[in-house]
Amino acid sequence: MHSLAAPPVLHLVATDPALLEALARLAGSLGFGFRHWSGPDACLAGLDIEDTGVVLVECGPAGDGLGLLTRLAAHGVDLPVIVLAAQASVDHCRRAFKAGACDFLTLPLEEAPLRDAVCKAVGSHVLQHQRQRQARHARSLYTRLSEREREVLGMVVAGLTNKEIARALAVSPRTIEVHRARLASKLETDSLAQLVRQYADLADEADTRPALVCGQAWGDPLVWRGGQPQVSG
């Protein structure tokens, strides 16, 4: 398991010594780790699926090397792949993107486009991993909520006011205020916007009720259908 501070890794699958030297130099200048693999089999055997970074794979005119993209996905590796090729025919480029490449660069490499492509791919991958960690953390916090707290959360992210929620649950608005304070603490949020952004989908997943009629203490009850409140009658 990598620490969150582990630097991204630039993986190169190629045999050209000049390409190896250029990519190692680029990785060092960006503060990335660098791994060189002699071929797809070695790459698949040595990759850590928890790495953030990018894979650059050298492909010949026949597209040899593109199979690595499919094999990476089959092994659960989500690293972006940049294809490097000496001959950039339209067909070769099309096949690379169809196989899942995030970029296609022609050899010999120019430093500026190479740096830009690597930084863009790595930045996207790091952001993707950050969002995945945040989603896992949010789900972990959500599992700690009581059934009533999940019910209140579902109504909050649906846009109901404290009074409307209190009426629906046949409790006082002050009780809902207490529930919302506990939700903010347990879910580690400091604003309604953050609560909705991080937990609306989880609340929707949990709300499998076809209809919930409640809140008869203050006149017409609210009917809960499909994640939206409706006044009965």
Confidence check: pLDDT of 216 > 70: no
Q: Who's near 230: CB < 8 A, 6+ residues apart?
A: 222, 223, 224
pLDDT of residue 225: 45
How far apart (Å, rounded) are the C-alpha atoms in residues 129 and 74? Answer: 18
Confidence check: pLDDT of 214 > 70: no
Distances (CA, A) of 189 to 183, 199, 233: 8, 10, 37
pLDDT of residue 91: 87
Assign 233 a pLDDT band (cuts: 50, 70, 90). very low
Contact 68, 58 (CB under 8 A): no
Identify which of 99, 183, 108 has the alpha carbon closest to the alpha carbon of residue 141: 183
In 3-state terms, what secondary structure has residue 114? helix
Average pLDDT over residues 26-52: 93
Assign 8 a pLDDT band (cuts: 50, 70, 90). very high
Assign 177 a pLDDT band (cuts: 50, 70, 90). very high
pLDDT of residue 207: 62
What is the tens place of the pLDDT at every residue in 128-166?
A: 988 988 999 999 999 999 999 999 999 999 999 999 999
Q: Which of residues 183 and 224 earns the better pLDDT score?
A: 183
Domain boundaries along the sequence of the chain = 9-140, 145-231
pLDDT of residue 63: 58
CATH of 9-140, one of 1.10.8.100, 2.70.98.90, 3.40.50.2300, 3.40.50.1980: 3.40.50.2300
The answer to whether the pTM exceeds 0.85 is: no
Confidence check: pLDDT of 174 > 90: yes
pLDDT of residue 193: 93
CATH of 145-231, one of 1.10.10.10, 3.40.50.300, 3.40.50.11540, 3.60.15.10: 1.10.10.10
pLDDT of residue 104: 95
Total Cβ atoms within 10 A of residue 73: 14
Contact 224, 206 (CB under 8 A): no
Token pair recorded at residue 43: 């790459």
How far apart (Å, rounded) are the C-alpha atoms in residues 123 and 100? Answer: 17
Assign 62 a pLDDT band (cuts: 50, 70, 90). low
Q: What are the DSSP calls for 201-220, one per residue?
A: HHHHHH---S-EEE-GGGSS
Average pLDDT over residues 188-213: 77
Residue 220 Cα to chain centre, angstroms = 43
Q: Read off the amino acid at residue 227.
A: G
How far apart (Å, rounded) are the C-alpha atoms in residues 183 and 132? Answer: 22
Q: What are residue 92's phi and psi, to 5 degrees?
A: -60, -45
Identify which of 105, 104, 37, 94 has the alpha carbon closest to the alpha carbon of residue 71: 37
